[in-house]
Amino acid sequence: MTDTTKTWPHHELGRKVSNWGRWGPDDEIGTLNYVTDAKRVAAAQLVRSGRAFDLGLPFDKDGPFKDGGFRVNPQHIMTLLPSDTNTPDNLISADDMVVMGLQAATQWDSLAHIGYDGFFYNNVPAAAVNSFVGAARNSFAKSVKNLITRGVLLDIAALKGVDRLESSYEITAQDLSDAEERQGVRVESGDVLLLRTGWVAWFHEGDRKNFLGKEPGPGLDAVPWLHTREIAALATDNHACEVMPSAVEGVGVPFHQVVIRDMGLLVGEMFDFEELATDCAQDGVWEFLFNGTGLKVTGSVGSPITPIALK
């Protein structure tokens, strides 16, 4: 039973960093409002060499999730084969489809993904998400065009001198500032912030149990820093973009609750920063044009994505 008398520390924090009403009562994209036309123009100037880095995991049957869960790995099915076509001019053709959860691999959480006390971001009631239309408000589909901007990678694992952070390590505001200083870069308004923990290595090693288990990630201490810097979106290379287990006893995802529901911050999970981090360490450039538009699925509460960093 829910304890309605308890004062939860993450809900107290949420009130302090709330962006409800900041962009009007009808706003459905939250901190993506920080991505302006001028921001996109400036981000485009960061492309110098044309080198492109794929930051996504593959969408296939060998994805992160085990059978029987509420998230389903992608199932790729051929619906038309060359052998099925027979025309006078010897045309051959192929078609296919995919059956998958929208959050089955590299993905965004929309502002209709997490809430509490009966509401999602910007005073949207829980009933706005239903089986008839999906997310009638705060759908990911509203966010697509604002996900091309400046990206900044902060390598927290390298900051700590390891290939991957220890299980359940909490990334703090001090870590974020220290990583900026070490790398000679500053996170600015309208940026997509990418945090490397090194945790994706478990997936590449075929160890789903560790990849989906206790993990390092940002905690509540980092929230005021993220709020002050006015970042547009946040993405990590683990499965939940949050330290696990939670430091708040009895609560699963307090960081998600605050940043998505109160701040209106889009959260990305299961990204792969390994190749990009190696390149950034070699040339000392930790900023780039980030393209993470996702799929315009009407009423969706998340979206699969193959994000690209261009340097």
Secondary structure of 194-228 in HEC code, one letter for each residue:
EEECCCCHHHHCCCHHHHCCCECEECHHHHHHHHH
Planar angle of CA 235, 145, 64, nearest 5 degrees: 35
Please check whether residue 77 lies inside any domain of the structure. no
Per-residue pLDDT for 304 more than 60? yes
CATH of the domain at 172: 3.50.30.50
The mean pLDDT value for 248-256 works out to: 91
pLDDT at 69: 63
Please check whether residue 88 lies inside any domain of the structure. no
pLDDT at 284: 97
Please check whether residue 209 lies inside any domain of the structure. yes
Please check whether residue 90 lies inside any domain of the structure. no
Residue 138 pLDDT class (50, 70, 90 cuts): very high
Please check whether residue 134 lies inside any domain of the structure. yes
pLDDT at 168: 95
pLDDT at 2: 53
Count, residues in the chain: 311
The mean pLDDT value for 152-170 works out to: 97
Q: pTM higher than 0.75 for the full model? A: yes
The mean pLDDT value for 80-101 works out to: 85
pLDDT at 3: 57
Q: Which residue has the higher pLDDT, 75 or 141?
A: 141
Torsion angle of alpha carbons 15, 18, 22, 24, nearest 10°? -80
CB contact at 8 A, 292 and 108: yes
CB contact at 8 A, 228 and 186: no
Per-residue pLDDT for 1 more than 50? no
CB contact at 8 A, 157 and 117: no
CB contact at 8 A, 143 and 168: no
The 3-state DSSP class for residue 25 equals coil
The mean pLDDT value for 99-105 works out to: 84
Q: Which residue has the higher pLDDT, 306 or 132?
A: 306
Per-residue pLDDT for 58 more than 80? yes
Task: Domain of residue 204: give its range.
Answer: 9-70+101-310
Report the chain's mean pLDDT, rounded to a whole number: 93
Give the total number of structural domains in the chain.
Answer: 1
Residues forming a β-bridge with 218: 171
pLDDT at 4: 58
Closest among 274, 278, 283, 270 to 236, alpha carbons compared:
270
pLDDT at 79: 86
How many angstroms separate the CA atoms of 203 and 269, rounded? Answer: 13
How many angstroms separate the CA atoms of 178 and 161, rounded? Answer: 13
CB contact at 8 A, 143 and 268: no
Residue 183 pLDDT class (50, 70, 90 cuts): very high
How many angstroms separate the CA atoms of 24 and 16, rounded? Answer: 18
> Which residue is it, tokens 């200083």?
181
Please check whether residue 219 lies inside any domain of the structure. yes
pLDDT at 18: 98
Residue 266 pLDDT class (50, 70, 90 cuts): very high
The 3-state DSSP class for residue 38 equals helix
pLDDT at 252: 86
Q: What is the DSSP string of 133-177?
A: TEESSS-GGGGGGG-EEEEEEEEHHHHTTSSSPPTTPEE-HHHHH
The percent of the chain in helix, strand and coil, each rounded to the nearest 5, is 30, 20, 50
Tell whether omega for the bond before 245 is within 30 degrees of 0, i.e. cis.
yes
